[in-house]
């Protein structure tokens, strides 16, 4: 019996930011909710592409909606006044 190679699931961006700390907060939220996520660096050479780059949080496409809901719930309900600035409204992908 031969085993079929398993391909990596498609990863979908659910959050992006220029701040590593924001990405790590979102990654921790998703991990706590049982959603595996990957934080990727989108750095680009600043002399060629100034202002391009940042950090992206990606999840399996099947969990993308759940991940976005966790992020939105935290932003709307779970974030204290001190934490609310950690995740800006315009950073979550729709």
Query: Domain of 38: which CATH number?
Result: 3.30.70.1530
Domain presence at residue 87 = no
Nearest-CA neighbor of 66 among 21, 34, 23?
Answer: 34
Domain presence at residue 23 = yes
**Residues facing 16 on adjacent strands:** 56
Q: How many helices (H) and strands (E) in the chain?
A: 2, 3
Give pLDDT, residue 6. 45
Give pLDDT, residue 77. 87
Whether 89 has a pLDDT exceeding 80, the answer reads: no
Give pLDDT, residue 42. 79
- Domain assignment of residue 17, given as a range: 11-44+51-82
User: Averaged over 50-69, what is the pLDDT?
Assistant: 90
Give pLDDT, residue 61. 95
Buried/exposed 50-78: b ≥16 CB within 10 Å, e otherwise? eeeebbbbbbbeebbebbbebbeebbeee
Domain presence at residue 1 = no
Q: What is the value of pTM for the model shown?
A: 0.69
User: Averaged over 35-44, what is the pLDDT?
Assistant: 88
Q: How many C-beta atoms lie closer than 10 Å to residue 37's C-beta?
A: 24
CB 24 within 8 A of CB 69: no
Whether 5 has a pLDDT exceeding 90, the answer reads: no
Q: Could you tell me the two tokens for 5?
A: 């190679």
* Domains in the chain, number: 1
């Amino acid at each position: 019996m031969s085993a079929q190679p398993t391909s990596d699931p498609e990863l979908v961006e659910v959050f992006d930011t220029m701040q590593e700390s924001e990405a790590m907060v979102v990654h921790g939220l998703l991990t706590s909710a049982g959603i595996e996520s990957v934080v990727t660096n989108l750095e680009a050479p600043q002399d060629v592409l100034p202002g391009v780059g940042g950090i992206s949080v990606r999840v399996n496409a099947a969990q993308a909606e759940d991940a976005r809901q966790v992020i939105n719930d935290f932003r709307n309900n779970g974030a204290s006044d001190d934490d609310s600035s950690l995740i800006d409204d315009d950073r979550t992908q729709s």
